[in-house]
Amino acid sequence: MTTLTLITGGSRSGKSAFAQQMAERIDAPRLFLATCPHIDPEMDGRILRHQRDRQGKGWQTIEEPLRLADVLRCRPADEIVLLDCLTLWIGNLMHAAEQQGREMSEDQIATFAEELCCAAYERRQGRVILVSNEVGLGIVPDNPASRHFRDLTGRCNQVVAAAADEVFLVCCGIPMQLK
C-alpha cells in the first residue's frame, strides 16, 4: 500500500534532509526523482551537494524536469521515491508554457498535481515523498511573474496536501507533522 507524504518548508529549512532520512529508514530500493535543471554553475554546485549526500546509500537518480507522473508510472512498485522538488517542477512547467506562448493557469497546475498524486497511488506499494517549498509565508512579491509562481505553488501544495496521507512542515530543521 502506498503512503504519499508531502514535506514542505521554507528555503534551507531542512526539508530535503528530513525527506532523505525518512526514505533511508525504509529497507527498499530508492529512487531520487530530481526536477532541478542545470542552469548555472551555482545551481550545479547545489545539485552536486545533494548527489554527494546520497552517495553510497543505495540511491538511483533520475533527472526529469516535467513528466513526473510518467516516471512514477513506469518505476518498480516497491521502490521508495523521493521527488525533490515540486517548486522547481512548477518553475519548469511555467517555463515550458512560456516557450509555447502561453501561461500556466492555477487550474492546469491543479490538474498536473492531481495526475502526479494519482500516479503515486497507482500500482505502487512503497512510500512516495514529495518535497515542496512553502512560498506563501513571506511578503507579496513585487512583480506579476513572481506572484503567479507563488500562486501556482500554493495551489499545487494544497492539491498534494489534500491527497497525501502525511504532511510535514519543516522549520529551522525541525519537522512538524500537520496531517
Lookup: cell for 10: 521554507
**Residue 50 designated active-site:** yes
Which carries the bigger pLDDT value, residue 2 or residue 178? 178
d(CA 153, CA 46): 21
What pLDDT, on a 0 to 100 scale, did the predictor assign at position 115? 97
pLDDT band for position 168 (cuts 50, 70, 90): very high
Tell me, letter by letter, the H, E, C secondary structure of 141-164: CCCHHHHHHHHHHHHHHHHHHHHC
What pLDDT, on a 0 to 100 scale, did the predictor assign at position 170? 98
d(CA 173, CA 136): 19
Query: Among 138, 114, 122, 165, which residue's Cα sits nearest to residue 7?
Result: 165
Answer whether residue 46 shows pLDDT above 80. Answer: no
Interval 62-91 mean pLDDT: 95
In the chain, what are the domains?
7-177 (3.40.50.300)
pTM: 0.93
Interval 81-106 mean pLDDT: 96
d(CA 39, CA 26): 33
Answer whether residue 160 shows pLDDT above 90. Answer: yes
Q: For the chain, give the percent of residues with pLDDT over 90.
A: 79
Average pLDDT of the residues of the chain: 93
pLDDT band for position 176 (cuts 50, 70, 90): very high
Of the residues 38, 50, 95, 148, which is catalytic?
50
Q: What is the CA radius of gyration of the chain?
A: 15
Interval 135-139 mean pLDDT: 88
Interval 33-50 mean pLDDT: 79
